[in-house]
């Protein structure tokens, strides 16, 4: 039996085809993210929630302070890689985890943006923007694929759908999400190191 030769171009094309197939799930995730980013920006948080978020941000600052540029790039990349992969794989449980992740990330970004604007004016948002150009699409794709993965339970042929959604998601993760996260890590790590 002749084994099929690996073709990078074909794998890349299959990845984009699967993204197109999952676009409605990705759009739902983007919608949830935007709604909660607006909530985080415009709705004042309770004192307890503000303290919780500020502690989380301070913990991140403490963890990364004193890191060199390559260390920062590695830290950001691994952090994003972990959360994107978990968002994709844990979507298997009815797609609930990706929705929770979209809500939390959206709210956090809205909250941080509101503080940044309060302290440095509206133009500070332009300084934050480069941080998300590659990272956010990677996260949206992962979470959207995670949601799609969870929908296998509603399909007639559950085991076939499970396999198709799992391998489709994994292919996209390797050929699309991973490169986006590498570029995001380099940009973010460099911006933080030189700011």
Helices (H) and strands (E) in the chain, counts: 9, 0
pLDDT at res. 75:
92
Tens digits of residue pLDDT in 145-170: 999 999 999 999 999 999 999 999 99
The pTM score is 0.90
Rg (CA), the chain: 18
Quote the Cα angle for 183-186-189, to 5°: 140
Tens digits of residue pLDDT in 93-128: 878 999 999 999 999 999 988 988 888 777 777 777
Mean predicted lDDT score pLDDT of the chain: 90
CA 62 to chain centre: 23
Report the C-alpha gap between 83 and 105 in whole angstroms: 11
């Amino acid at each position: 039996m002749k084994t099929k030769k690996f073709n990078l171009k074909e794998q890349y094309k299959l990845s984009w085809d699967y993204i197109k197939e999952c676009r409605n799930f990705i759009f739902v995730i983007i919608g949830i993210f935007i709604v909660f980013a607006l909530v985080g920006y415009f709705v004042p948080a309770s004192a307890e929630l503000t303290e919780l978020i500020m502690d989380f941000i301070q913990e991140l600052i403490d963890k990364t302070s004193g890191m060199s540029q390559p260390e920062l790039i590695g830290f950001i990349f691994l952090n994003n890689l972990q959360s994107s992969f978990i968002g994709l794989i844990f979507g298997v449980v009815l797609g609930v985890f990706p929705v929770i992740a979209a809500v939390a990330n959206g709210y956090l970004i809205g909250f941080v943006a509101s503080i940044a604007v309060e302290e440095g004016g509206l133009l500070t948002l332009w300084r934050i923007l480069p941080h998300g150009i590659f990272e956010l699409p990677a996260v949206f794709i992962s979470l959207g694929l995670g949601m799609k993965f969870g929908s296998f339970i509603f399909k007639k042929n559950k085991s076939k759908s499970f396999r198709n959604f799992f391998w489709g998601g994994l292919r996209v993760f390797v050929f699309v999400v991973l490169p986006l996260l590498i570029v995001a890590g380099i940009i973010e790590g460099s911006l933080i190191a030189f700011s």
